[in-house]
Structure 1
């Protein structure tokens, strides 16, 4: 569980990061899950964007990804969600 101060730092970092995972018209697919996992391992901080054609709500996406990958939701603004999971090899460490 992240503290509010850690979330604030991660939001500041995420603001300058590019989206690494997009969820489109097919919703949450195995490809999305693989891409999300690879991004978590490589960066620890993952920015996910739900495109307008996505048939799934962001609340469902955040719940599914946090449960499946044991990560924390850092922020949720509009169609953009930011997740963090501490890992030894990731680029961004808090």
Structure 2
């Protein structure tokens, strides 16, 4: 579980990132969850964009991604979801205490 201080830190780190995944009309599927999980292992922090034509609510999409990848939801702002998951063998981000 992330503290408020850690979430603020991660939000500042994610500010300059571009979304590398988009959730569209098909919604969230197993393949997308697997790819996001692999990307989280490599990067630890990433943005996912929810497109206008997505039939599911963006908070539902965020919940599905968090459950599927066991990641932490840092922020859901507009149509952008910021996810964080500590990498087991490629640790790059040092969280404040």
Regarding TM over 0.5, the answer is: yes
Instruction: Give, in angstroms, the shift of residue 90 of structure 1.
Output: 4.4
Please, which runs of 5 or more residues in structure 1 have no aligned partner?
Answer: none
Please, which runs of 5 or more residues in structure 2 have no aligned partner?
Answer: none
Q: CA RMSD in A?
A: 1.4
Instruction: Kindly report which structure 2 residues correspond to 1:36-47, keeping only aligned pairs within 5 A, or say none.
Output: 36-47=36-47
CA contact (8 A) 1:73 1:84 kept: yes
Q: TM-score, normalised by structure 2?
A: 0.87
The residue that corresponds to 1:77 in the other structure is 77
- In 1, Cα distance between the equivalents of 2:60 and 2:29? 13
- In 1, Cα distance between the equivalents of 2:93 and 2:20? 14
- In 2, Cα distance between the equivalents of 1:86 and 1:56? 27
CA contact (8 A) 1:40 1:90 kept: no
- In 2, Cα distance between the equivalents of 1:90 and 1:56? 33
- In 1, Cα distance between the equivalents of 2:33 and 2:66? 12
- In 2, Cα distance between the equivalents of 1:66 and 1:30? 13
- In 2, Cα distance between the equivalents of 1:34 and 1:86? 16
Number of residue pairs the alignment of both structures matches: 94
- In 1, Cα distance between the equivalents of 2:35 and 2:24? 13
Q: Structure 1 40/63 Cα, relative in aligned 2: closer, same or farther at 3 Å?
A: same
Q: TM-score, normalised by structure 1?
A: 0.90
Query: Does residue 9 of the first structure (1) align with residue 9 of the second (2)?
Result: yes
